[in-house]
Structure 1
Amino acid sequence: MNETDLDELISSLTPHESADSVKTYRNTVSISCPACEDPFDDLVVCSGEYDSLELSKVLDLCVTTVDDDVLLFTHQH
């Protein structure tokens, strides 16, 4: 995935939360995950050198990077 692909993906998602260097987007249109090809629930973009996530539920995660950003695609059970 490159920066253009990421920008196109984010433009199709619904912004959900933003805190410091972590942004979350909801997948309300059932876009497929680029890693596993199943629809994902949320995209979490971590752009800080060190980021911490507090998860309130058990999730499967698919992970990739674009430039220095880490992208987490969440899948609920």
Structure 2
Amino acid sequence: MDDVELDELVSALTPREENRALKTYQNTVSVACPACGDPFDDLVVCKENPTSLNLSQQLDFCVGVDDDRALIFTHKR
């Protein structure tokens, strides 16, 4: 995977939710996942280390890093 340019990536996504630990974006325009090349559903940016995720559904995901922040690209099954 090439380095992820977060600012460029999120400019094409729709912001959804933000709290102290996480910021989420929805991929409403079918941007390709930098890891696998398939369109992803949501991007989760982890702002704290460590961060806990409570998943309400079963997902496949790809992971990248930008400036020591984990980037999680979700793919709904």
For 2:41, give the aligned amino acid. Answer: D
1:33-70 deviation per Cα after TM superposition (whole angstroms, max 9, x unaligned): 00000000000000211111110000001001111100
1:75 alignment partner in structure 2:
75
CA contact (8 A) 2:31 2:39 kept: yes
CA contact (8 A) 1:47 1:68 kept: no
Q: Is the partner of 1:39 in helix, strand or coil?
A: coil
Identity over the aligned pairs, expressed in percent? 57
Q: Is the partner of 1:61 in helix, strand or coil?
A: strand
Corresponding residue pairs, total: 75
1:31 alignment partner in structure 2:
31
Q: Is the partner of 2:9 in helix, strand or coil?
A: helix
1:48 alignment partner in structure 2:
48
TM-score (normalizing by structure 2): 0.93
Runs of 4+ with >2 A deviation: none
CA distance in 2, matches of 1:71, 1:53: 12
Stretches of structure 1 that go unaligned for 5 or more consecutive residues are none
Question: Greater share of helix residues, 1 or 2?
Answer: 1
TM-score (normalizing by structure 1): 0.93
Q: Is the partner of 2:49 in helix, strand or coil?
A: coil
Please give the root-mean-square deviation of Cα atoms over the aligned residues, in Å. 0.9
Stretches of structure 2 that go unaligned for 5 or more consecutive residues are none
